[in-house]
């Protein structure tokens, strides 16, 4: 299976001539997108026509570089270890610039189409790399350890490990709690900017960009902890499987005629569920760890001990009226997600393909596997 990821590299130690060439190429791209006739590298024009259909006046667009035109070499120099050649109109053969990537670029990686960004006067090269990874077919054995992840709003990621066919649970992690406070803080800042005059409100616009950077940083660290834990289990001779609840149509109201209030609507629409799924998927597959997404319906309302729906939820506390279980609401959902995967695998004799018959326990209808990493299947459907 071929897996891709993006390596972010900052262009460092630019000379005056090289900076001038990159600035001219970048500015000419913006002018070309707005309909002006400027001197621009022919391949850059083709890529711009291919990707950018609708152009906004107040936005800068990155320079797209084809993989056959981008060249990256590793050199033993005092300035930098990695150098990249960027094609520009003003110089034949392109410009060689020193780059500082956030992770090493191995020789076996294939360089794909990349993009050049400009932020606060500095240039960044987003390099898309690809390599062949052997992802094993998930099998339910005594060595299998299921890392179940529940995605939510108050606790973005709640992870729990299920051992010995789900009979043992441990290593519970609540990750990303800070995101809720960050979202609330910047929503208040937006309200303040709207009330102020344009002159004073423009000063606060720079703060809004910090919100996405802070949230992405927290999510990257949280997803990395889960994947690193799975890698540790694999080094110990076990077979980890990551499973998460696939939130589909979560932004749509449960009842069509009943709308959410403004506060709840903001919480649901700012929940980074897609980012979490994307980060977990590409990081796990890059390490060769199988990852599966299943339907998350009724996992927060169903009791993991007795499978009863006669439950009561008060804030983050889950209480079952049938067996008297008191549990954390998100942790109960994570355990149900892991048990649901076990039901699929037991019913299909260890395979992660969707079962033909209904699961062993009384689960809601329409439960299907959203992601399959079995041989011959695509990691994303």
Query: Can you state the angle between helices 16-33 and 42-51, rounded to 10 degrees?
Result: 40
pLDDT at 349: 46
> From CA 300, how far away is CA 282, in angstroms rounded?
26
Closest Cα partner for 12 from 70, 62, 77?
Answer: 77
> Which candidate, 125, 260, 233, 215, places its Cα nearest to that of 171?
233
Output the six-digit token pair for 179. Answer: 């995101």
Please name which of 334, 375, 380, 347 lies closest in space to residue 138, comparing C-alpha atoms.
375
Q: What is the structure's pLDDT at 154?
A: 85
Q: Give the three-class secondary structure for 375.
A: coil
Per DSSP (E only), the strands in the chain are 2-12, 63-65, 71-74, 82-86, 95-101, 110-111, 114-119, 122-132, 144-151, 157-163, 168-175, 239-246, 291-295, 311-314, 317-320, 326-328
Cα Dmax for the chain: 76
Residues ≥6 apart with Cβ < 8 Å to 163: 145, 169, 170
- Residue 378: per-residue pLDDT: 33
Identify whether the C-beta of residue 170 lies closer than 8 Å to the C-beta of residue 184.
Answer: no
**Would you state the pLDDT for residue 363?**
34
Distances (CA, A) of 186 to 23, 176, 192, 270, 297: 33, 17, 10, 11, 31
Q: Is 259 left (phi over 0), alpha (psi -120 to 50) or beta?
A: beta
pLDDT by residue for the chain (381 residues), tens digit each? Answer: 889 999 999 999 999 999 999 999 999 999 999 988 888 999 989 998 888 888 888 889 999 999 999 999 999 888 899 999 999 997 888 999 999 998 889 888 999 999 999 998 899 999 999 999 988 888 888 888 999 999 988 889 999 999 888 888 888 889 988 998 888 888 888 777 766 655 555 555 556 678 888 999 999 999 999 999 999 999 999 999 999 988 877 767 666 666 777 777 777 777 888 899 999 999 999 999 999 988 888 888 888 888 888 777 777 788 888 888 888 888 888 999 998 888 887 665 444 544 443 333 333 333 333 333 333 333 332
Given this model, what pLDDT does residue 381 score?
A: 29
Beta strand 63-65 with 110-111 is unpaired
Residue-level pLDDT at 370 = 30
Domains of the chain are 2-132 (no CATH), 144-347 (3.30.420)
253 near 206, Cβ under 8 Å?
A: no
């Amino acid at each position: 299976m071929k897996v891709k990821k993006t390596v972010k590299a900052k262009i460092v130690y630019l000379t005056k001539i090289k900076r001038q060439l990159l600035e001219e190429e970048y500015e000419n791209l913006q002018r070309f997108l707005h309909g002006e006739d400027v001197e621009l590298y022919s391949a850059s024009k083709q890529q711009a026509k291919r990707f950018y259909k609708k152009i906004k006046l107040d936005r800068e667009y990155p320079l797209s570089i084809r993989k056959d035109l981008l060249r990256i070499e590793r050199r033993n120099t005092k300035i930098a270890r990695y150098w990249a050649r960027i094609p520009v109109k003003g110089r034949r053969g392109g410009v060689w610039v020193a780059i500082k990537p956030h992770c090493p670029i191995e020789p076996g990686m294939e360089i794909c189409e990349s993009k050049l960004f400009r932020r606060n006067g500095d240039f960044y090269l987003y390099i898309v790399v690809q390599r062949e990874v052997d992802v094993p077919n998930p099998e339910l054995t005594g060595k299998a350890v299921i890392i179940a992840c529940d995605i939510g709003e108050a606790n973005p990621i709640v992870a729990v490990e299920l051992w010995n066919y789900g009979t043992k649970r441990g290593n519970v992690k609540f990750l990303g709690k800070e995101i809720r406070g960050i979202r609330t803080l910047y929503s208040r800042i937006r309200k303040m900017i709207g009330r102020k005059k344009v002159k004073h409100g423009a000063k606060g616009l720079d703060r809004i960009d910090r919100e996405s950077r802070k949230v992405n940083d927290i999510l990257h660290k949280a997803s990395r902890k889960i994947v690193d834990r799975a890698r540790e289990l694999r080094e110990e001779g076990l077979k980890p499987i990551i499973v998460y609840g696939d939130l589909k149509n979560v932004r749509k109201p449960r009842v069509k005629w009943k709308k959410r209030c403004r506060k709840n609507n903001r919480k649901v629409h700012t929940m980074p569920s897609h980012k979490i799924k994307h980060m977990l998927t590409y990081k796990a597959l890059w390490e060769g760890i199988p990852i599966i997404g299943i339907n998350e319906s009724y996992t927060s309302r169903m009791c993991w001990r007795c499978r009863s729906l006669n439950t009561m939820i008060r804030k983050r506390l889950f209480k079952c009226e049938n067996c008297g279980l008191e549990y954390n609401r998100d942790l109960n959902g994570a355990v149900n997600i892991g048990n649901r995967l076990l039901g699929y695998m037991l019913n299909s004799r260890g395979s992660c393909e969707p079962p033909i018959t209904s699961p062993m326990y009384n689960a809601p209808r329409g439960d299907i596997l959203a992601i399959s990493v079995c041989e011959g299947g695509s990691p994303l459907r």
